Amino acid sequence: MGNLKFGWSEVDITPTEKIALRGEFFERVTNEVETPISITSLAIEGDGDQVVFCSCDLVGVEEDLMDLTKQILKERNVKGLDIEKIVASAIHTHNSYNYGSVAGASDPSVLKLFPEGCTYIPEEHDPDQMSAPRALAFLGEKLADAVELAWNNRKPGGFAPGFGRAAVGMNRRVCYSDGTAAMWGDVEKENFTELEGGNDNGIEMMFVYDENKNLTGVVANLACPSQVLEQRSIISGDFWGKVKILLREKYGKDLYLLSLCAPAGDQCPRDLIRWVEPETPIKDPNVIRNHPKYRRADPSMFDVRGTWTIGRRIMNEISFALESVEEIQTEAILSHSARDIYLPLRRVTEEDKIKAEKAIADFFVGKTKINFMDTAALYVYTGTLHRYEEQKTRDKVRVNVHNVRLGDIAFSSDPFELFLNYGNQIRAHSPAAQTFLIQLANGELGYLPTALAEAHGHYSAYVSSGYVGHEGGAILVEKTLEDLNELFKD
């Protein structure tokens, strides 16, 4: 047998009580489970090096969660495990735990701006719901369990690369003739000109086998967040949950699926040109359309039927790729580079600060009560002021990045909702035959937009939408390629 060992685990994180859901700018509390949610881990060891990949059915993997997980694993003293070689990422489902800060209501930078006598009124709250601190503690234990189990399950095995294509992710930033753009913009406006960027329908795949050449799991990587059901108050693994169900129906109930989201900060699972209305009303005013034209296209990509459509598309491509596997590799170079890099903090100008202060002051005139949607409306301005204060004390952002070589395959991670073009640059210049790109990994640093998006403005490109701008994006690409070239220099 070769030099490689592989270990899998899947740990259920489906709540048994009500939880607050993360994502969106309105509150959602639920215990209704549409599909179970979990953390799946794949440990790989060989050549004296290692990596443990974790795919979490969460909106993001915050630094607090990573720190807690590492502390728990350190206390458990798992033999042979290097806790600095863990790559934990999120599929970006908006139908899972809020275990940290919520944009808006609970943010101290928002609350301190309330005028005297103005109070915050929760839109939806249950006194028995799981608190954010308790959710963090729960998820820290579960993520540690997933890592430890996968590591302890290591056995000799092999892998085979694969590739497919499926229409899943599409650009979600709409441009207009006045030089502006909007996430979820309405293309039926007369001054619509184009979508701001392209998309990537490629699916990077890797299949893992045991020493008897039995398939044990699938790694799949595509450029689209798993957020069809983002407007709904249900618990769900979204379209990746459906892929898992379909794979197990065909290949056995014990098959594992490691779902990895590639750079997709400007991508979504909806075709904004062929707009199909939600099956039932939604709350986000940015997404609501007034009497849109009928389009014959996909089912609603706000509802469960849409998740099954995407799930079948991905499942079909995985099946086709599996039929083409000719050789299982049991020997390969495994090398893992993990380090912190420092990127420039995206800064607020004095003019932007003054505009934000005026907008906030105008908003509060005559108000005595504020709800969650109000704080969402203030998000761009409060975030601007928060950043203005932050830049007084630091000008760099610490970013944990991982680059892994497995034979002629590369894996590269970052903690951003990284716009697609950065991923394209890395993949185009990568020395690997195939490059898996993993966003929202080992931290949650918000969007990293392109220079074009920053010029166009709107959500995902605002300075308050993330910590790093396009200058930092260029450095991230440069440093990532440096690490990959070093790993592949022989």
Closest CA to 197 of 475, 479, 460: 460
Q: Which domain holds residue 410?
A: 5-487
Q: What is the pLDDT of residues 287-345, one digit of tens each?
A: 899 899 999 999 999 999 999 999 999 999 999 999 999 999 999 999 999 999 999 99
Pick the closest to residue 411 from 478, 488, 475 (CA basis): 488
State the Cα–Cα distance between residues 313 and 329, nearest whole angstrom. Answer: 27
In this structure, what token pair is assigned to residue 411? Answer: 């894996």
Number of domain units in the chain: 1
Give the model's pLDDT for residue 368.
Answer: 80
Collect the ranges in the chain with pLDDT lower than 70: 1, 101-112, 122-125
How many angstroms separate the CA atoms of 86 and 264, rounded? 22
pLDDT of 109 reads 56
Q: What is the DSSP string of 19-72?
A: EEBPSSSS--EE--BSS--EEEEEEEEETTEEEEEEEESSS-B-HHHHHHHHHH
Among left, alpha and beta (phi > 0; psi -120 to 50; other), residue 23 is left
pTM comes to: 0.96
Q: Which of 70, 89, 92, 90 lies closest to 81, judged by CA?
A: 70
- At residue 110, the pLDDT reads 62
Distances (CA, A) of 123 to 27, 29, 129: 6, 10, 14
> Packing angle between helix 350-364 and helix 379-390, nearest 10 degrees?
140
Can you give the pLDDT at residue 394? Answer: 95
pLDDT per position as a tens digit, 379-427: 888 889 989 999 999 999 999 999 999 999 999 999 999 999 999 999 9
Residue ranges of the alpha helices (H) in 192-303? 238-251
Residues 6+ apart with CB under 8 A from 391: 345, 347, 348
